[in-house]
Structure 1
Amino acid sequence: MTKYAQQILDLVLCSTEHLTAEQIFLQMKQENSKIAQATVYNNLNALVADGKLIRLSQPGAPDRYDNTTRHDHLICTCCGALADFKFTDLTHNIEAALGARIQSYDLRIHYLCPACRKAQEQHENFER
């Protein structure tokens, strides 16, 4: 693994957020002013292809990167906030329902986050 790939992997794995390539590039540029944006994108693509990171794609939003440990995601349909959530592993239930073995599953729950729900309620109360 290259020096940059390791730095990118460490950055993503240590982050409490789901970083975009741009955020990763800006953080890495602070330590190495000569790093190119293409270097970050190429290394991210390689890390995803090698199964060391996962890419989270949302329509109309930049891709975000995350660790590969088994977990699920909550996505706010209003502001796009992305949060990790760990539900009970559903592999056995899915396999029983399908009558087949599955390789993996990706559970993304779209909801209204607390901040957006509060803003929506305040807006509704204001209109009354």
Structure 2
Amino acid sequence: MTKYAKKILEIVESSRSHLTAEQIFEQLRETYPSVVLATVYNNLNRLWEEERIRKISVEGMPDRYDRIVRHDHLVCRKCGRLLDVDLGDLTEQLEKKAGIPILSYDLKLVFLCEACRKKSQEKGT
């Protein structure tokens, strides 16, 4: 593993903010000022392919990266805010319903966050 990959993995594992590649790039530049954004993307893709990090894709938003710990996500439909939620491991239940072995799953529950609900109420919609 390259020095960049090690530091990127450390950044992702220590964050609870679901960072974008650009946010990881900014943090990585604090240690390696000459690093380029392409290096971050290449290492993120490699770490994801090696199943060392999770990639969270939400339509209309940049991909975000997360640590490998069994948990699911709440995604605000309006602003894209992403929150962790622990619903336990549903693999066995999903396998029974699907009738096939499941390697993994990524559950995203769509909701309206408190800030967006307040904005919606203020506008009267």
- C-alpha distance in 1, partners of 2:78/2:116? 7
Post-superposition shift, 1:30? Answer: 2.0
Structure 1 segments of 4 or more deviating over 3 A?
none
Moved more, 56-65 or 41-50: 56-65
Deviations along 1:35-64, one digit per CA (max 9) or x if unpaired, are 111111111111001100111112221111
Give ranges in structure 1 of 5+ residues lacking alignment: none
**Is the CA contact 2:16–2:66 (under 8 Å) kept in the aligned structure 1?**
no
Deviations along 1:75-118, one digit per CA (max 9) or x if unpaired, are 00011101111102211221222333222221101110111112
2:81 is equivalent to residue 81 of structure 1: yes
- C-alpha distance in 1, partners of 2:84/2:65? 12
TM normalised by structure 2 equals 0.93
Aligned residue for 1:96? Answer: 96
TM normalised by structure 1 equals 0.91
Q: Which has the larger radius of gyration?
A: 1
- C-alpha distance in 2, partners of 1:84/1:30? 27
Superposed, 1:2-81 pairs within 5 Å as 2-81=2-81
Aligned residue for 1:107? Answer: 107
- C-alpha distance in 1, partners of 2:33/2:103? 41
Tell me the matched-pair count: 125
Q: Aligned Cα RMSD in Å?
A: 1.3
Aligned residue for 2:119? Answer: 119
- C-alpha distance in 2, partners of 1:23/1:71? 22
